[in-house]
Structure 1
Amino acid sequence: MLKHDNFFTQLTQIEPSEIKGAFVSFLFIFLLMASYMIMKPVRDALPSDWGDVSLAQQWTYTFIVSTIAVAIYNVFASRISLRKIVPGVFVFFAISFLGIYSAYRAGVEVTFLGKVFYVWSSVFSLFHISVFWSFISQHYNKSESKRVFGFINTGASAGAICGPLLIILLAKSMSVDNILLVTSVVLISTLPLIAILNRHFDKKETEGQRAVTLSSNPFTGFQELLTHKRLLGIALFIFLFTGISAFLYSTQKELLIEYSRVERKQLLGSVELATNILTIIIGIFATNRIARKFGMATTLSLVP
């Protein structure tokens, strides 16, 4: 075992005492990313059955529900430690997905439930990775994070590949209700990993990191945004990027109309699979070289 640890340390620069936490975190984010990427092609196959007005309404509902959900999460996060909040968030989403699954089985109108699924899965996408990194980042200092976070993040990349691959292979049997059941099971399966990480981090010095608290004011983030030029620049970039993405999304919806829903799921799964494989290849072989040669500012400016 010691030889294996030494080899892994030489390969990744992760210290032996950090290996357990890194591997469990890798598996944790793998499951989270896979659960979302299983849903994403199925969700994105739905709008081609709707009109443009209906899709715009779903985006509006998503914005409203997301704003409320983030505000509620902020209130809880300001009063309860993340070690309790994190499992609570994923249990909540698992139960909510099971609720929608039960509604499908009970014969509730399918089109309505499809729109509920579309909105709620979009809300879930705001939380699954951000909550994970909020939980993980508080337990590592700057030098540790440089060693560990890159390896952990490969778990997200692996999950982003396995999720669409599952959809491609099982598109015919992966209806919305089955997807909800699978996602719920995957989310529940993260609970033992969270417990293991809590015990692991309890044994690790945190250098006062647990003392960090959040404001209960849901508008604190907006105040921070408006007072920092760099954050405003990032916000503007995201705003423009989202606007372009919305246009492309609408175009994609129109292009997929002529296909059946099963074919749409397979096509979208293939696109997600290819995109994430290319992302990993570019990240490994190109990004670091470009960043070293031209600097991070120039590298980021090439993204658009």
Structure 2
Amino acid sequence: MAAQNDIAVADPASFTGVKRGEWLALVLAFIYFFLVLAAYYVLRPVREQLAAASGSQVLFQFYLTTFIVTLVLTPVYGWLIARFPRKRFVPVVYLFFIVNLIAFIPAFEAQGQLNPRVLGQVFFVWMSVFNLFVVAVFWSFIADIFSVEQSHRLFGIIAFGGALGAIAGPLLTKWLVHRIGIGPLLGVAACMLLAAVACIFALVAWSRRHPVAQDTERNEAVIGGGFWAGAKLVFASPFLRRVAILMLLGDCVGTVLYNLQTDIGHQYYPDGAARTDFYASIDLSVNVLMAVLQIVVTRVVLTRFGPVPALAGAEIVKALTLITLAFLGQPAAVAAAMIVTRGGAYGVEKPATDSLYTRVDRETRYKAKGFVDTAVWRFGDVAVVGIITILRDFGMTTAGFASLSAIAAICAAYIAWRLKSTPELAHDKA
């Protein structure tokens, strides 16, 4: 009888990991992340089709402008986030971008009459700023709402909301673009962000009723600041230099395929709605593969073997995919290679790379990771596109670009494997 009573009154948290007073905040955070990534992936194909309208020859200018703007705004972002509570800063920023989206709609309605290169460059750069201030700030905000102990139990569930949003966004774009056109899609994204703002205010209200116990280490952590200090840390540390080189080599593969993909959109999809549908299909396939890999592969590999085999294995798969593309050289093969490599990059490599930063102290983690994820990444974009432009002038074809990218992936696999010899990973399972 006692055993039966124990079963009858069992705490639901023992099955779900969620305590009774946390359900509202968990649901709100889940919906919030779903809405943010769904909005981002509604907008992403809109950006891609603008670049494709002009062709890959405009990408160097697009990336160069983005690199300069990133260098300027990243320290500004760090200054703002360090001086204003994120609970106040985040909703104001979201409302600012909602107004931006509404202001963009007339320009997209008149896309046929405007210079696609000018509109494309403005929106391309705007999306990068949007990613920095809206998407990337999500986890910083959520970290202010929940305690460290709660994060261990709840963040995996919240992350799943983002994965669903990353799948729902492209699906929504594919369904709506031929019905309402490109311009109104920006209104759809703005509505999602407005609903996300409502979630933010509700989470702030919940946090006032359930204040997080003071965590000095977390509250004093540097979030988004220390840009040039991060550069010094990266150049001074052999471990961090290798992580940065991995980022650059990964960028070589991604940017080459992005260029080839842009030319496909330019050549085969002259209509803006058709291009948007095409890029939404790629995003949808990438995000589904990413979710499957995270559920089936990444967790098991990281838990049993550590990040080194995960990184090296993903790069080997990339190399084999690119070698196949070099032999086939068909547009459909380019799209398939983009799906496989991006799905692996976000589904396996990014979680593994993020786990590498747990091997360094907290201040280094924030500063160095911020530098690598902004300056190194954007510099890689500019450098690779510049090299591609030169090689095109010498007549290099898809097969040549795929072969060079395969070499970059093989080099990345070697560097990833060599990480196990660093002191930071000396006691790792790998």
TM-aligned CA deviation for residue 122 of structure 1? 2.7
Partner of 2:194: 188
Partner of 1:253: 262
C-alpha distance in structure 2 between counterparts of 1:252 and 1:150, whole Å: 32
Query: Quick check: 1:164–1:270 contact (8 Å CA) kept in 2?
Result: yes
Q: Deviations over 1:145-197 (max 9, x none)?
A: 22111000011101001100011112224544222222222212222211111
TM-aligned CA deviation for residue 40 of structure 1? 0.9
Q: 1:121 aligns with which of 127, 130, 139?
A: 127
Q: 2:174 aligns with which of 168, 172, 194?
A: 168
Q: 1:282 aligns with which of 280, 290, 293?
A: 293
Q: Deviations over 1:229-269 (max 9, x none)?
A: 44433322222211211100011112222123322222221
C-alpha distance in structure 2 between counterparts of 1:87 and 1:228, whole Å: 37
User: What residue ranges of structure 2 are gaps of 5+ in the alignment?
Assistant: 1-7, 316-430
TM-aligned CA deviation for residue 92 of structure 1? 1.7
Query: Quick check: 1:12–1:151 contact (8 Å CA) kept in 2?
Result: no
Change (3 A) 1:129 1:11: farther
C-alpha distance in structure 2 between counterparts of 1:234 and 1:12, whole Å: 35
* Residue 51 of structure 2 corresponds to residue 47 of structure 1: yes
Partner of 2:143: 137
Q: 1:241 aligns with which of 242, 246, 250?
A: 250
Change (3 A) 1:219 1:296: closer
Partner of 2:397: none
Query: Quick check: 2:49–2:275 contact (8 Å CA) kept in 1?
Result: yes
Q: 2:19 aligns with which of 2, 15, 20?
A: 15
Q: Considering only aligned residues, what root-mean-square deviation do their CA atoms show, in Å? A: 2.6
Question: Does 177-186 or 75-84 show the bigger shift?
Answer: 177-186
Moved over 6 A (4+): none
Q: TM-score, normalised to structure 2's length?
A: 0.63
Partner of 1:271: 282
TM-aligned CA deviation for residue 280 of structure 1? 1.8
C-alpha distance in structure 1 between counterparts of 2:120 and 2:180, whole Å: 14
Change (3 A) 1:42 1:105: closer
SS in 1 for 2:137: helix
TM-aligned CA deviation for residue 63 of structure 1? 1.4
User: Aligned partner of 2:287: which letter?
Assistant: N
Partner of 2:322: none
TM-aligned CA deviation for residue 101 of structure 1? 2.3
Q: 2:40 aligns with which of 26, 36, 40?
A: 36
Partner of 2:72: 68
Question: Does 78-87 or 156-165 show the bigger shift?
Answer: 78-87
TM-aligned CA deviation for residue 226 of structure 1? 3.6
Change (3 A) 1:12 1:301: farther
C-alpha distance in structure 2 between counterparts of 1:227 and 1:15, whole Å: 44
Q: TM-score, normalised to structure 1's length?
A: 0.87
Partner of 2:228: 219
Partner of 1:291: 302
C-alpha distance in structure 2 between counterparts of 1:193 and 1:220, whole Å: 34
SS in 1 for 2:83: coil
Partner of 2:184: 178
Query: Quick check: 1:34–1:163 contact (8 Å CA) kept in 2?
Result: yes
C-alpha distance in structure 2 between counterparts of 1:105 and 1:169, whole Å: 18
Query: Higher relative CO (CA 8 A, sep ≥ 6), structure 1 or 2?
Result: 1
Q: Deviations over 1:3-62 (max 9, x none)?
A: 9x955x344312223222211111111110000000111211222221433221011111
Change (3 A) 1:39 1:255: same
C-alpha distance in structure 1 between counterparts of 2:311 and 2:20, whole Å: 34
Q: 1:301 aligns with which of 312, 315, 323?
A: 312
C-alpha distance in structure 1 between counterparts of 2:242 and 2:291, whole Å: 26
SS in 1 for 2:47: helix
CA radius of gyration, larger in: 2
User: What residue ranges of structure 1 are gaps of 5+ in the alignment?
Assistant: none
TM-aligned CA deviation for residue 113 of structure 1? 2.2
Change (3 A) 1:300 1:217: closer
C-alpha distance in structure 1 between counterparts of 2:150 and 2:221, whole Å: 21
C-alpha distance in structure 2 between counterparts of 1:172 and 1:64, whole Å: 35
C-alpha distance in structure 1 between counterparts of 2:182 and 2:73, whole Å: 23
TM-aligned CA deviation for residue 213 of structure 1? 6.0
SS in 2 for 1:138: helix
